[in-house]
Amino acid sequence: MSRFPVLEGSSLSAQHYTIPADLEGRANLVFVAFLRRQQQVIDEWIERLGDVESKYPGLAVYEVPLLVRFPGPIRWWIDNGMRSGIPDPRTRSRTITVYTDRGRFLRQAGLADEQQIWTVLLDREGTIHWSHIGSHDDGAEQRLKAKADQLFGG
């Protein structure tokens, strides 16, 4: 199994995170997005999975927009824009913006480019138990649920 790169970020509810160590679940489903248009893909995944956190107590879901490094005032402006577009407090608390060197992240993660989202099931130590690149598909969802069943005894 491979490892998830360590990232630093803050949720839209202003909580600092070191990912993956500070993620709250025993296992965590993390949607990593690189481009604004990819939010639709994440929304489809979340809609199709339903309330997956209820089915698997101990699982937490996060959205991680991975943005290029900007100076502080620009970060504040971007985060406020995102915050104002997400009225739901639960979604704000699980959306962690990360400002980093995306090229370095892509290399560390073994990803070819930033054209598609990366969906990952990992533990707090960073071990990746399942991953998928791109849009939702039924086969990927079934493999995710099978892995979650293994991890949570479902």
Q: What is the pLDDT of residues 93-145, one digit of tens each?
A: 899 999 899 999 999 999 999 999 999 999 999 999 999 999 999 999 999 99
Residue 43 CA, distance from chain mean position: 12
Three-state SS at 68: strand
- What's the confidence (pLDDT) of residue 140? 97
Asked if CATH classification 3.40.30.10 holds for the domain at 7-152, the reply, yes or no, is yes
Residue 14 confidence (pLDDT) above 60: yes
Average pLDDT of span 29-51: 94
Average per-residue pLDDT for the chain: 89
Q: What is the dihedral of CA 124, 126, 127, 131, to 10 degrees?
A: 100
pTM to 2 decimals?
0.89
